[in-house]
Structure 1
């Protein structure tokens, strides 16, 4: 059993309480509310606990909550599966961290799988979104990994770097992609509280990226799901593909594959750059 992270548990409960409307949990709206979301006494009522006990949890005080209490809170706050797992990890009850840090070892089997994907860009990332390896086509999208310095392979750093123009964030798909990535990063943060690299990454971005800080403060927790991406590539032109995220359970890594519709212009582009890279050609 780990050590409860009371401050983070308190902040998570407050954020999830503020997200809910009374009507969503079967309560009347009542008089005008000064702040959004449920009141503390309403959450306590829904969870079947005393208001004093719940207040102590939101203030980071009191005893470590039991599994029964955590399950009641998960139901009262209508938490998703990923959010419930995160709640238990914060409380360090019956759901200890899997390991001290994300696995960054690329197994031979995954390396062979990447190389076998000759018409789909694919790359492997750890739970903190550090790119570990990629196939030849991936270089067109994540660059030449061999030339990138230590700490330079983080997809999250790329996403929230300071030199990105504000107009970039006007795209709704970019906003969704950023939100889901931060939610998945928070899930990893809950699984690996002792990993210094992950803690450093979060601390750094909280200090350098107001956008990251705003998303992080929302306490959303969810593992990544497949999404459709439409991008304007500087060399390849407009592309549309499904960004398929395949979880690797034994290492808690993600294999990200760009899957183009058969017969589509993007599929033709992927096939062309696959042939070019097989002949020794490189991006740029």
Structure 2
């Protein structure tokens, strides 16, 4: 096994990406059909000398921002981005599955919170911790977001899903606005310098690239406790939803409740949850 898997991986992906795929002129006198180091370095915003050190294994500690920029420039798939991140972690001598010591990250809900969820049925409602892990949910929430792939993961996380699953992008016409909100919550709802946030941010900087990293670096966006969302659901069709957030600060958790904004959405959610008409009533928009 090579002791320079990170460098070998970067070089192989560079040589596999043609100039045309990268939006560059093919030029003449190419020794390889792939990109030159100078071309990739320019696309990623790093120096040729630094890229050379990475490919040759003389630098084994690139930042998440550099990895994300290289992944964007190389047009890597999500699977390849995860491989790139793993190689970088291993090259630096770290274990990508271990997070630094920190206060316990809540992964369970109290019985009283579970009872609240029961009373919110059939409304789509979910309990999240401060990094967006799904801790508990109503059946209405599962039937709403299950077909979008949220629960395909062993540990469902709404931030990771929104940035890395193409089904989330297709389902949200206002994908950018939802992304802004999710990153604002990640930045502002967590304890200061929380290592779990840092770990998720490092992961998504690589796997989602600039779309996540630029938002995470922007401190001006603050989360909103209420709002609206349009979802183009693969089974229920277009849904106009209002959402309210109920904070559980002592638990480091929050309850997010979705409600129909109009009668058409209420009827569609009734069909989705298998209820007779009237199971959910439209709330209507304020003002």
TM-score normalised by length of structure 1: 0.53
Matches of 1:136 and 1:166 in 2, distance apart?
A: 23
Please give the residue correspondences for 1:228-247 in structure 2 after superposition, counting only pairs within 5 Å. Answer: 228-247=228-247
Unpaired runs of 5+ in structure 2?
1-101, 277-287
Matches of 1:224 and 1:215 in 2, distance apart?
A: 16
Q: Displacement, 1:163?
A: 4.3
> CA distance change for structure 1 residues 131 and 165 in 2, over 3 Å: closer, same or farther?
closer
CA RMSD of aligned residues (A): 3.0
Please give the residue correspondences for 1:69-84 in structure 2 after superposition, counting only pairs within 5 Å. Answer: none
> CA distance change for structure 1 residues 104 and 222 in 2, over 3 Å: closer, same or farther?
farther
Alignment partner for residue 161 of structure 1, among 158, 161, 164?
A: 164
Partner residue, 2:225 = 225
Unpaired runs of 5+ in structure 1?
1-98, 278-284
Q: Does 1:110 align with 2:107?
A: no
Partner residue, 1:257 = 257
Which has the higher mean CA deviation after the structures are superposed, 129-138 or 110-119?
110-119
Q: Displacement, 1:104?
A: 2.4
For residues 143-201 of structure 1, the C-alpha deviation after alignment (integer angstroms, 9 at most, x for no partner) is: 29997444x411111111064698878x4x32121112111111134x15243x33221
Please say if residues 123 and 259 of structure 2, whose CA atoms lie closer than 8 Å, have aligned partners that are also in contact.
yes
> CA distance change for structure 1 residues 183 and 101 in 2, over 3 Å: closer, same or farther?
farther
Partner residue, 2:266 = 267
Please say if residues 124 and 253 of structure 1, whose CA atoms lie closer than 8 Å, have aligned partners that are also in contact.
yes
Please say if residues 226 and 245 of structure 1, whose CA atoms lie closer than 8 Å, have aligned partners that are also in contact.
yes
Partner residue, 1:185 = 186
Query: What SS class does the counterpart of residue 240 from structure 2 fall into?
Result: strand
Q: Which has the higher contact order (CA 8 A, sep 6+)?
A: 1
Q: Displacement, 1:268?
A: 1.7
TM-score normalised by length of structure 2: 0.53
Please say if residues 229 and 241 of structure 2, whose CA atoms lie closer than 8 Å, have aligned partners that are also in contact.
yes
Query: What SS class does the counterpart of residue 181 from structure 2 fall into?
Result: helix
> CA distance change for structure 1 residues 128 and 248 in 2, over 3 Å: closer, same or farther?
same
Matches of 2:220 and 2:105 in 1, distance apart?
A: 20
Partner residue, 1:203 = 202
How many residue pairs get matched? Answer: 173
Query: What SS class does the counterpart of residue 160 from structure 1 fall into?
Result: helix
Alignment partner for residue 142 of structure 1, among 131, 142, 145?
A: 145
Structure 1 residue runs of 4+, over 2 Å off? 99-105, 141-150, 162-169, 192-195, 219-225, 269-277
Please say if residues 115 and 136 of structure 1, whose CA atoms lie closer than 8 Å, have aligned partners that are also in contact.
no
